[in-house]
A and B are shown apart, each in its own frame.
Chain A
Amino acid sequence: MKPNTVIVDYGVGNLRSVARALEFCGAEAKISADPKAIALADRVVLPGVGAFGDCMLELQTRGLQKALMEFVDTDRPFLGICVGMQILHEIGEEFGQHEGLGIIAGRVSPIPAVGTDGYLHKVPYIGWSGIFPPENKETSWRNTILAETKKGANVYFVHSFGAKPTNPEHILAVYYYNGQPITAAVRSQNVYGCQFHPEKSGQVGLQIIKDFLKL
């Protein structure tokens, strides 16, 4: 049977693109704002664009925060994408301080406006960058959503804020923006988050989605 994957509909994000990419990778994708559908799902994907605070507000208004927290506790695979990854953290600093879901300890703050060469660079960062395991650390991608991704493979980013998990072991991958390491993917047990858009990252992104469906 195809894995039943629910894409959380909370009024933000290009849900159809995420659904289509999941279907292409063999999932049965359902866009839903129903807490019951989330409770029954094999997998949950939380997309998100726009501001951290707005996304949290929309989740709360629709009464979805509790359903998501309960799902996470079941140990079934969960994937946050872009702002959906950022709100997994405790605090977001976009337009003031906002409380996130707090599944991963850490903050979401502006990405540095300068490279390591000291020169200003463009923010938002929009583009394709290679992702790597964090430095000075033995991070294995085995049995994760990056199981079949090559180190340095390019994926598509568009963001102005980046996650800084308190526990470095929660960082699964980073990319380098003019020398500055920026969190590209996080993981805490069954919960994954991608700052990049796997649904917009060509073959590399589709492979990441396939690996998520294999978890």
Chain B
Amino acid sequence: MTNLRLIARLDIKAPNLIKGVRLEGLRVVGDPQAYATRYYEQGIDEILYIDIVASLYERNNLSDLVRYTAENIFIPMTVGGGVRSLHDVEQLLLFGADKIAINTAAIRRPELISEVAKRFGSQCMVLSIEAKKQRDGSWEAYTDNGREKTGRDVLEWARMGQDLGAGEILITSVDQEGTRKGFDIEMCRTISDAISIPLIISGGMGSIDHFLAVAKEGHANAVAMADVLHYDRLSLSDIRQAALTNGISVRQP
């Protein structure tokens, strides 16, 4: 069985690591470098930075943090938030990012996905989708931290992103994010089963049971965790131990 990837998600409002509820109501947690270093030392599989205010300013402000991480942390790093153009992607890759997550700019101009994939390789093009459940049971893609509707159906958008050359899909459930009430497992499974590229699920982890549920039922390839790690509600060794006990393969560093 393939190892389920464990990803630490750090939402940043430069220079701070922050945490919100449903992507809003932001609280300062601390220095992101210190947190990223701690997760690396504890054996996290990957680091995900999202510049949470970048959309407001139309630019990503994480260059210093990305540089620091590339110099000191020897695991994959994905960076997103406010990435608008091939130039932005190139800059972040030069600073040391391995993969770039794009949401708003891809919604506005889907060809950007193909351009990034063609220029830098699919492996670094992560399509980031903020998903909100609709009354009819489907999910709609949002931008700007779950505030702006796009009119795109998440399932169709994920498939289209894949066809345009995305190498991976990151889905954040706006409804669950920051609630500590568990992942949207039905959405995770529905989307993951409909695409042939890996899926990262994000939003809602508050306990080990949430992790085990999404690992068993969600068909995700990677699980992103934020405040459960930031506030030390669970340690990575707790998570790995619980995974092992329940027959879920994860990396044992």
Instruction: Report whether A128 and B5 are in contact in the complex, using a CB–CB cutoff of 8 Å.
Output: yes
Selected contact of B74 from candidates A125, A126, A202, CB within 8 Å? A202
Complex Cα–Cα for A127 and B199 (A)? 12
Instruction: Report whether A201 and B2 are in contact in the complex, using a CB–CB cutoff of 8 Å.
Output: no
Chain A residues lying within 8 Å of B168, measured Cβ to Cβ, are: 124, 126
Seen from chain B, the residues whose Cβ lies within 8 Å of a Cβ on chain A are: 1-3, 5, 40, 43, 45, 70-71, 74-76, 93-96, 98, 120-124, 167-168, 196-199, 221-222, 251-253
Instruction: Report whether A201 and B75 are in contact in the complex, using a CB–CB cutoff of 8 Å.
Output: yes
The contact sample of 8 A-B pairs, CB cut-off 8 A, is A14-B98, A16-B96, A50-B120, A50-B121, A126-B123, A127-B198, A202-B74, A206-B74
Smallest distance from the beta carbon of B127 to chain A beta carbons, Å? 14
Instruction: Report whether A128 and B45 are in contact in the complex, using a CB–CB cutoff of 8 Å.
Output: yes
Q: A17-B96, A200-B98 are in contact. Are A128 and B251 (CB under 8 A)?
A: yes
Instruction: Report whether B71 and A20 are in contact in the complex, using a CB–CB cutoff of 8 Å.
Output: yes
Closest to A122 in B: B198
Complex Cα–Cα for A49 and B98 (A)? 10
Residue among A122, A178, A203, A205 with the highest chain B CB neighbour number at 10 A:
A122
Instruction: Name which of A97-105, A139-147, A153-161 contacts chain B.
Output: A153-161
Since A49-B121, A123-B196, A202-B74 are in contact, a sample of 16 more A-B pairs with Cβ atoms closer than 8 Å, ordered by chain A residue number, is A14-B96, A24-B74, A49-B120, A122-B199, A122-B221, A124-B168, A126-B5, A126-B221, A127-B5, A127-B222, A128-B3, A128-B251, A156-B75, A178-B2, A201-B75, A202-B43
Q: A16-B70, A126-B198, A128-B3 are in contact. Are A202 and B75 (CB under 8 A)?
A: yes
**CB of A51 within 8 A of chain B?**
yes
Total interface residues in chain A, CB < 8 Å: 36
Complex Cα–Cα for A200 and B124 (A)? 14
Closest 4 A/B residue pairs (Cβ):
A50-B121, A128-B251, A154-B251, A122-B198
Chain B residues lying within 8 Å of A124, measured Cβ to Cβ, are: 122-123, 167-168, 197-198
Instruction: Report whether A160 and B122 are in contact in the complex, using a CB–CB cutoff of 8 Å.
Output: yes
Complex Cα–Cα for A113 and B123 (A)? 16
Smallest distance from the beta carbon of B88 to chain A beta carbons, Å? 16
Instruction: Report whether A49 and B198 are in contact in the complex, using a CB–CB cutoff of 8 Å.
Output: no
Complex Cα–Cα for A20 and B43 (A)? 19
Complex Cα–Cα for A126 and B220 (A)? 12
**CB of A121 within 8 A of chain B?**
yes
Chain A residues lying within 8 Å of B252, measured Cβ to Cβ, are: 154
Contact pattern, A 111-141, Cβ under 8 Å of B = 1, otherwise 0: 0010000001111111111000000000000
Complex Cα–Cα for A156 and B7 (A)? 13
Instruction: Report whether B94 and A16 are in contact in the complex, using a CB–CB cutoff of 8 Å.
Output: yes
Chain A residues lying within 8 Å of B5, measured Cβ to Cβ, are: 126-128
Q: A17-B98, A20-B71 are in contact. Are A120 and B196 (CB under 8 A)?
A: yes
Chain A residues lying within 8 Å of B121, measured Cβ to Cβ, are: 49-51
CB within 8 Å of B: which of A154-202? Answer: 154, 156, 158-160, 177-178, 197, 199-202
Q: A120-B196, A158-B123, A203-B253 are in contact. Are A17 and B70 (CB under 8 A)?
A: yes
Instruction: Report whether B3 and A199 are in contact in the complex, using a CB–CB cutoff of 8 Å.
Output: no
Complex Cα–Cα for A153 and B124 (A)? 25
Complex Cα–Cα for A154 and B46 (A)? 13
Complex Cα–Cα for A150 and B116 (A)? 37
Chain A residues lying within 8 Å of B70, measured Cβ to Cβ, are: 16-17, 20
Residue among B74, B98, B198, B252 with the highest chain A CB neighbour number at 10 A:
B74
Chain B residues lying within 8 Å of A160, measured Cβ to Cβ, are: 122-123
Complex Cα–Cα for A159 and B122 (A)? 9
Selected contact of B123 from candidates A159, A203, A205, CB within 8 Å? A159
**CB of A85 within 8 A of chain B?**
no
Complex Cα–Cα for A159 and B120 (A)? 13
Q: A113-B196, A154-B252, A159-B123 are in contact. Are A121 and B74 (CB under 8 A)?
A: no
Smallest distance from the beta carbon of B62 to chain A beta carbons, Å? 16
Complex Cα–Cα for A127 and B95 (A)? 22
**CB of A7 within 8 A of chain B?**
no
